[in-house]
Amino acid sequence: MKQTVTESMFIDSFTGGYKDNFSYEGKKALFNWLEEVEGDDSSEFELDPIALCCEYTEYQSLTELNEEYSEEFDTIDAVCDTTCVIPIDDDRFIIQCY
């Protein structure tokens, strides 16, 4: 049995200890990206907030990412060469952990 998940349902699914892993805007960006991927290759995702929190991380800036990964990325485009990047706004973004 499958159920269509709306953006609101997706955002509300992050509860308990996982509710703060992504900002509200980050959850919206992640939802939209997942929907786009589903549409591009006809795959379907199972809604698993815990798995998403393990697989993706939100960063406030490139500096924060560089500090956490001990990297020296100069641009977001450089990060895109290493992993999937989901933009949130001009500074914030989500990456697929590597």
Q: How far apart are CA 5 and CA 40, in angstroms?
A: 18
The pLDDT of residue 34 is: 95
Q: How far apart are CA 27 and CA 1, in angstroms?
A: 25
Q: How far apart are CA 49 and CA 52, in angstroms?
A: 5
| Residue 57 domain flag | yes
The pLDDT of residue 13 is: 96
The pLDDT of residue 25 is: 98
| Residue 80 domain flag | yes
| Residue 85 domain flag | yes
Domain limits at 17?
Answer: 7-96
| Residue 12 domain flag | yes
User: What does pTM read for this prediction?
Assistant: 0.90
The pLDDT of residue 70 is: 94
Predicted confidence (pLDDT) per residue in 27-65, tens digit? 999 999 999 998 877 788 889 999 999 999 999 999 999
Domain count across the chain: 1
Predicted confidence (pLDDT) per residue in 5-27, tens digit? 999 999 999 998 889 999 999 99
